[in-house]
Structure 1
Amino acid sequence: MTTSEASGRLVIRGHLISDDRSIEDGAVAFDGDRIAFAGPAAEFAEQPDAGSYAGVDVPAGSLLLPGLVDLHCHGAAGGDFPSADPEAVRRAVDFLHRAGTTTLLASLVSAAPDAMLEAADTLAALAEDGLIEGIHAEGPFLAAARCGAQDPSFLTDPDPDFVDELVAVARGQLRTMTYAPELPDADGLVEQLAQHGVIPSIGHTDADAETTAASLRLAREELASAGFDGFTERPTVTHLYNAMTPPHHRRPGSVTASLEAAATGGAVVELIADGHHLDPATVRAVFALVGAGAIALVTDSMAATGLPDGDYRLGPADVVVRDGQARLGADGRLAGGTATLLEVLRSTVDAGVPLAEALVSATSVPATVLGLADEVGALHVGFRADLLVLSPDLRLRAVYRRGVELGA
C-alpha cells in the first residue's frame, strides 16, 4: 500500500513503550501517515478532537512499540536482495514490513561488479518508491582472511572508480558500505564514502586494534565534516564478532577496538543477536559494556527468512538452511541469518537484556544512524505512523506502516 492510502484517524490503546517512556495505559493516534498523539490515554481523551478518531480494538495487555529498523538484511521470503530480481526483492520487502521491520536497508554482498551495479539499480527504485530506506553494500573491499560467507574471488582492494560508479547507479540511495580498514588506501575509501554521504562500516576484517581504532577515528572525523543535514557522526561496525579478529588479552584485535570506540561514543556496533551468531552471554555483555545507545540490532537475514529449511541463494553463493541456521553448502560457514528483527529483539530479551534497552537498539539507534532520528524509531507526534502491536511475550498482533495496517 502507498502512503496515499493512509487516510482517516485512528487511535490504539495499550502499554506504550518507546525510547525512555513506558506508559501502561497509553494511546497512539494516527492522522493519515503521521502520529498525532502518543502518550497517556487519559491525556488523549482530553484532546478537543479526540472524538474524531476511530478506536481500534486490540487484546488487553497489548504492547505498543515503534516499528523496527534494520540496517543489515539481504532478503526474506525467497527474495534475495543481491539478485536484482525486482519481483523477488519486492516480495522480500513486503514480508519484512509485515513481520514488523517497517524501515530497512537492503544489503548487497560482494559479487562481480556488473552484478552489484545491477542489484543497486533495482534496489534504488525500491528506495525511490519509499519501500526501503536505502542500500547497504557489504563489500567488495573486504579481507579474504575474514570473508565469512562472502566469495573471496570477488574481494578486491578499494577502487575509487567503482565506488563512484556504484554511488551513481544507486542514485543517492547508497547509505552504508562495509570495508576492511587494513586494505591498501582504506583511508582514501573512508574519505570518499563520507564525501558521498555514505557511512563507513568496519567489518570482515583481520585488522589489529590500532588499525581498527585509527580507521574508526578517521571515519568519525570525515562524517563530522561532511556537512550532511541530520547525518550521523558515528561510523558503524558490521556484525561485531562475526568475521572479525577475535579479542585476545595480548592481541586485542578489531573486536576490542570496536568495543572501546562504541563505549566512548565513537561507533555503533551491529549485533546479530539471533541465538546462532552470538552466544546470549556475549549479547548481554556487550549491552552492559557499551550501552544500548551504541548498539544496532540487525538480522543479516537472507532469502530463507520466513521459509522452511532448504536450499537457497545469497548473492552468488549456495546456502543450505538446517534447523534455522544458514550455512554455505561448500564448507558449512554461517551465511546470514533467518530471523526477523522482531525475533532478534525477542532473543535479546531472552538473553537477559531489558526490553526497553533492546528496543532502543532495534529502533532509535539505527534510525539515528540513517539520519532519521526525527522521523522513525520512536512514538512521537509528527513521526511516521509506524507501530507494532505485540502480545506481552512479544508476539506480533498487528503492524502499521505509514498509518496503514498490513495484513498477515
Structure 2
Amino acid sequence: MSEDNILTASGWVRGRLIHEHGRVVSIEGVPCDPADNDLPYLLPGFIDLHVHGGGGKDIMEGASAFETISKTHVRFGTTSLLATTMTAPSAEISSVLKEVGEFCKRRPKGTARVLGVHLEGPYINPGKLGAQPNFAHTALMAEVEAYLALAPIRVITIAPEIAGHDALIRELSSRGIRMQIGHTLGSYEEGVAALAAGATSFTHLYNAMSPLHHREPGIVGAALAHAKYAELIPDLLHVHPGAIRVALRSIPCLYCVTDSTAAAGMPDGEYKLGSHTVTKCLGGVRLPDGTLAGSTLTMDQALRNLVKIGLPINEASQRLSQFPADYLGLNERGRLAPGAWADCVRLDRALTLTAVMVEGENIDFKNA
C-alpha cells in the first residue's frame, strides 16, 4: 500500500491508514508538511447536508431515485449525505419520507450513506420561495410528529417570522433536531430571537433570505453577527467569492453544501426539481424566469473552489467534512482517527479525485 499525506484529526501525517470492519484501526506514519513531498492527499470523505438529486434523479421521485442519487454523489467524494425534500403537498412529502426512512436502514454496495433527511420546507415564507414550489404553510406540531415517525429527520429549514414557529423551534431543537433559518423575510431581530430559541444554522447563506443593509441587517446580518454554523453553496454562482470571505471571517464553523439537483453529474438539459422543470446550462440550474434553482455542484469541485479562493486544503476539508459532521453531532464521521468510520477520499496534487472509500468499501466510482 502506498503512502499518502493523510489529514488526521491532529494534523498531516505521511503514512498509511489501516482499517477493519468499516472502521479506522490506526494511522501509521509521521507528522509532515505536504509541501515537502509530492504524495497524494488522503482526506475525510465529504458530508453533504443538502442534496436534492443527482444523476438525472430527484429525491421527490421516491425510492426508485435514491440509489442513483447516492451512487452519483459518491463518484465525487461524498461519502454521506442528507436526502433533501422540496416544498410539496403533505401527502407527497409523507410518501417520500416513508421511502427515505426505509432506505436509511441500508447502504447498497457502491453508494454513499444516507444519514437522514433535510426537510427544506414546507415551513417557509411564501414570499421567499426561491426555487421552492408554492406549497408553503405554517408548521403544525401534529404534522411534524407524523413526519418524524416516517424517517430520521435531522434538519428542518424554517422561516422564524411566521407566527407559531418560535415555539416549534424551541420544541424540536430540544429533541436534537437541527432547526435552520431559511427561505425567510425575517428581520435581524427575528433571526436573533430564533437563535435564542434553539435554531442552529442558516440554509444556503445569503440566498432566499433578507439581505444585509447597514440600517436593516436582516437575516444575513443575524447570521454574520451571531451564528456558529451556517451552510453555504460554494459553486461561485450562488455567492460571490468576496461574500464567501466575509462569511468565513464571521461564522466559525461555516460548512459547505451542494444544494445539488438531478442535473448534478449530467449534461446540459431539462431536469425535475420537485414539481418544477429546471434547465442546466452555463454551469448552473435555473427556472424559466432565470431564478437559480439549486446547483450542479459536486463536493470535489467545492473543495477545488475553496482552494481557488485562498483556503488551505486542510481548512477546505474541514468545511466539507468535519464541520458538517460536528453540526449533526456525528463524532465518528468527518475525521480520520481510530474508531471513526473509514470514509475517505484520495486526491492527486491537482486535487483530482482518484479513490473513494465508504465505511471501508473501496468504491469503483470510475465505472459507476
TM range (shorter): over 0.9
1:22 alignment partner, SS class: strand
Please point out which of 342, 350, 355 is paired with 1:398: 355
* Distance in 1 (alpha carbons) for counterparts of 2:146 and 2:308: 43
Contact 2:223 2:251 in 1 (8 A): no
Q: Determine whether 1:382 maps to 2:359.
A: no
* Distance in 2 (alpha carbons) for counterparts of 1:177 and 1:12: 42
Deviates more, 1:59-68 or 1:136-145: 59-68
Partner of residue 110, structure 2: none
Partner of residue 255, structure 1: 220
RMSD between aligned residues: 1.8
Structure 1 residues 284-343: Cα deviation after superposition (integer angstroms, max 9, x where no partner): 22212333xx111100001010001100011111111111210112x2111001011111
Partner of residue 304, structure 2: 346
Contact 2:12 2:31 in 1 (8 A): no
What residue identity is the alignment partner of 2:209? M
User: Superposition pairs for residues 220-235 of structure 1, below 5 Å?
Assistant: 235=200
Contact 1:34 1:382 in 2 (8 A): yes
Q: Determine whether 1:278 maps to 2:255.
A: no
Structure 1 residues 5-48: Cα deviation after superposition (integer angstroms, max 9, x where no partner): xxxxxx5521112445123x2221112311111252599xxxxx
Q: Determine whether 1:155 maps to 2:136.
A: yes
1:258 alignment partner, SS class: helix
Deviates more, 1:13-22 or 1:142-151: 13-22
Please point out which of 118, 126, 145 is paired with 2:127: 145
* Distance in 2 (alpha carbons) for counterparts of 1:81 and 1:74: 5
Q: Determine whether 1:327 maps to 2:286.
A: yes
What residue identity is the alignment partner of 1:367? A
* Distance in 1 (alpha carbons) for counterparts of 2:246 and 2:312: 13
Please point out which of 6, 22, 40 is paired with 1:16: 6
Partner of residue 268, structure 1: 229
In structure 1, stretches of 5+ residues that fail to align are: 1-10, 44-58, 221-234
Partner of residue 277, structure 2: 318
How far is the alpha carbon of 1:377 from its aligned partner? 0.5
The TM-score normalised by the length of structure 1 is: 0.84
Q: Determine whether 1:190 maps to 2:159.
A: no
Partner of residue 295, structure 1: 254
Contact 2:124 2:158 in 1 (8 A): yes
Contact 2:229 2:251 in 1 (8 A): no
* Distance in 2 (alpha carbons) for counterparts of 1:405 and 1:20: 24
* Distance in 1 (alpha carbons) for counterparts of 2:226 and 2:39: 39
The TM-score normalised by the length of structure 2 is: 0.93
Q: How many residues align?
A: 356
Please point out which of 35, 48, 61 is paired with 1:70: 48
How far is the alpha carbon of 1:174 from its aligned partner? 0.7
Partner of residue 193, structure 2: 214
Question: Equivalent pairs: percent with the same residue?
Answer: 34
Contact 2:11 2:31 in 1 (8 A): no
